[in-house]
Amino acid sequence: MKKLQKGDHIRVLSPSASIAHLGGFEANISAKERLEKLEFKVSFSSHYFENDLFESASIASRVEDLHEAFLDDSVDAILATIGGFNSNELLPYLDYDLIAAHPKIICGYSDSTAFLNAIYSKTGIKTYMGPSYSSFKMIEGQEYQTRMWLQALSQTSYELVPSEQWSSDAWFLPDEPRHFFPTKWKVYAHGKASGTIIGGNLSTFSLLRGTPYAPQPDKYILFLESAEGYPPEIIARELAAILQAYPRPEAVLFGRFPKECEMTPEIFNYVMAKHPILKTIPVMYDLDFAHTQPLFTITIGAKATVDTKAKSIVIDEKIN
């Protein structure tokens, strides 16, 4: 699969929530301008402005937009507008043979977990969990976020490093006050491990359990995170379900929980202690992953090598 280069054409589409969910096209125009300043061409899908009762588009429209983007030889990369709640609706209707025949970069986060893991599972094509289109209108923290996005999409081997500071404020409201704190990646259980990256948003990844779209690599590392609005007892329930579906991870790496989750260190340790395996494998948490800002980008389906003593995470796309 071709890696991203300056001058490449990025197609923006909405597999989940529409641009209307974020205030409309003009409210997000700065994201387009930032991508163009990075020397990318930006276009939008045929049904980009469709908006229904759930601030999304019909299944047929979203599937058509994805197929059209993969079939268009001028498109080098596909970028989701934002997450949402319903991209798993698309999975039975996607033409995975078509996608496999026209492999290209596809990136998103949050609800994008569903189709990113499904495409990897059904085709073997590696996908990217990182900023969405609308993420590029964020101002503070954008240098780190963009740098980590570019390294993942343009290199076949790269290392994840912590941001300098993080925020759990509404990134999609750039005029609102922001509060930043020093970043510190933390370790629950030490060790070294390697495995294939799968996972993403806890609740969305849980939707794949028992379906043909759940990836099943032999050795896997789970990257997991939760969105705003999910309290610790729901996070604990979803984690238990994932560890039942994926009972032998080589390591588990947790993204930083948004402030709305009210996940304290005491509660986190309590939840971790429910699962004996998490004391026997490398477990890191408070990583720059998903619903706090800024966020790094990872490659679903690539090999990750973790060393908790060094707090090192190296990703190699050349090795499955």
The CATH number assigned to the domain with range 9-157 reads 3.40.50.10740
pLDDT at residue 170, rounded to an integer:
80
Among positive and negative, which fits the CA dihedral 20, 54, 14, 317?
positive
pLDDT tens, residue by residue, 161-179: 999 999 998 877 767 778 8
**C-alpha–C-alpha distance, residues 79 and 86, integer Å:** 16
What φ, ψ does residue 197 adopt, rounded to 5°? -75, 125
Residues pairing with 221 in the sheet: 197, 251
Q: Give 235: exposed, middle or buried? Use CB within 10 Å, 0-12, 13-18, 19+.
A: buried
Residue 30 annotated among the catalytic residues of the structure: no
The CATH number assigned to the domain with range 165-316 reads 3.50.30.60
Residue 110 annotated among the catalytic residues of the structure: yes
Q: Which of 14, 61, 110, 135 is catalytic?
A: 110
pLDDT tens, residue by residue, 261-281: 999 999 999 999 999 999 999
What are the domain boundaries of the chain? 9-157, 165-316
Q: Which of 14, 45, 291, 317 is catalytic?
A: 291
Q: Which of 225, 238, 250, 317 is catalytic?
A: 225
Residue 291 annotated among the catalytic residues of the structure: yes
Please report, in tens digits, the pLDDT of each residue of the chain (320 residues total).
999 999 999 999 999 999 998 899 999 999 999 999 999 999 999 999 999 999 999 999 999 999 999 999 999 999 999 999 999 999 999 999 999 999 999 999 999 999 999 999 999 999 999 999 999 999 889 999 999 999 999 999 999 999 999 999 887 776 777 889 999 999 999 999 999 999 999 999 999 999 999 999 999 999 999 998 899 999 999 999 999 999 999 999 999 999 999 999 999 999 999 999 999 999 999 999 979 999 999 999 999 999 999 999 999 999 76
